[in-house]
C-alpha cells in the first residue's frame, strides 16, 4: 500500500512548488500591482486611512522601484544558479520528475500573466491602448470611501460595535498565550 517514496515526493514539491523562485515571482507581481496598477498614491492613502498617519515616504519608493528590482534580480539569479534536485546529495531525480517539479512551479506562476493576457484580450481598442487601460492606476482608491468610515484622530465617526455602543466593543475575556 505504501511505496516508501513519501520523502522524495515531499522534497519534489518543496524544491519546486514552494521554492523561492515561485515566491519571488508572486512578490514581484504584487509590487507591480500595488504600486503601478492600483497606484502607490492610492495605496499610501489607504494605509493612512487604516493607521491614522502617513508612513515614511521611502515606503512609496520601496513599493514602486526597490522591491520589484530586488525581486526580479533574485529571481533571475535563482534561475542562473539553478541546480537539479538531489536527495541527500546522492540520489539524482530522473528527468520526468524534474519536469513534474517545474510543472508544479509553473502551475502557480502562470496564473498571474495569464490573467493579465485575458484582461488585455477582453479590453476594447488597439493593443497599446488595451495595455494602458489594464495597467492604469485605479481612480479614487481609498479616497472614494464614504466619510462616515474615516478616522478623525483616535475617534471613529462610525462605531465599530454593532449594538450601537460608542467606540470599540469592550473585551469580556482576557486571552493569555504562552509558549513552551
The residue segments making up the domain with residue 133 are 6-142
User: For the segment 69-128, what is each residue's pLDDT rounded down to a tens digit?
Assistant: 999 999 899 889 888 788 877 888 888 988 888 888 888 889 888 988 998 898 888 988
pLDDT at residue 70, rounded to an integer = 93
Taking residues 55-81, report their average pLDDT. 90
Residue 166 resides in a domain = no
DSSP code string of 44-60: HHHHHHHHSSPPPTHHH
pLDDT at residue 77, rounded to an integer = 92
pLDDT at residue 78, rounded to an integer = 87
Instruction: Provide the whole-model pTM.
Output: 0.64
pLDDT at residue 148, rounded to an integer = 47
Residue 26 resides in a domain = yes
Instruction: Indicate the pairing of strand 91-92 with strand 86-87.
Output: antiparallel
CA angle at 10 for the pair 8 and 12, rounded to the nearest 5° = 70
Tally the domains of the chain.
1
Residue 169 resides in a domain = no
CA angle at 71 for the pair 70 and 74, rounded to the nearest 5° = 85
Residue 156 resides in a domain = no
Residue 157 resides in a domain = no
Pick 175 or 159 by higher pLDDT: 175
Amino acid at each position: 500500500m505504501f511505496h516508501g517514496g513519501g520523502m522524495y515526493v515531499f522534497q519534489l514539491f518543496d524544491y519546486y512548488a514552494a521554492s523561492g523562485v515561485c515566491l519571488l515571482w508572486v512578490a514581484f507581481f504584487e509590487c507591480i500591482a500595488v504600486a503601478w496598477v492600483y497606484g502607490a498614491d492610492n495605496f499610501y492613502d489607504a494605509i493612512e486611512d487604516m493607521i491614522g498617519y502617513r508612513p515614511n515616504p521611502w515606503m512609496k519608493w520601496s513599493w514602486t522601484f526597490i522591491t520589484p528590482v530586488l525581486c526580479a534580480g533574485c529571481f533571475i539569479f535563482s534561475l542562473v544558479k539553478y541546480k537539479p534536485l538531489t536527495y541527500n546529495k546522492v540520489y539524482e531525480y530522473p528527468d520526468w520528475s524534474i519536469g513534474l517539479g517545474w510543472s508544479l512551479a509553473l502551475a502557480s506562476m502562470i496564473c498571474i500573466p495569464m490573467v493579465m493576457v485575458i484582461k488585455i484580450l477582453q479590453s476594447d481598442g488597439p493593443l497599446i491602448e488595451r495595455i494602458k487601460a489594464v495597467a492604469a492606476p485605479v481612480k479614487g482608491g481609498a479616497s472614494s470611501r464614504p466619510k462616515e468610515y474615516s478616522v478623525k484622530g483616535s475617534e471613529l465617526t462610525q462605531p465599530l460595535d454593532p449594538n450601537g455602543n460608542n467606540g470599540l466593543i469592550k473585551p469580556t475575556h482576557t486571552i493569555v498565550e504562552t509558549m513552551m
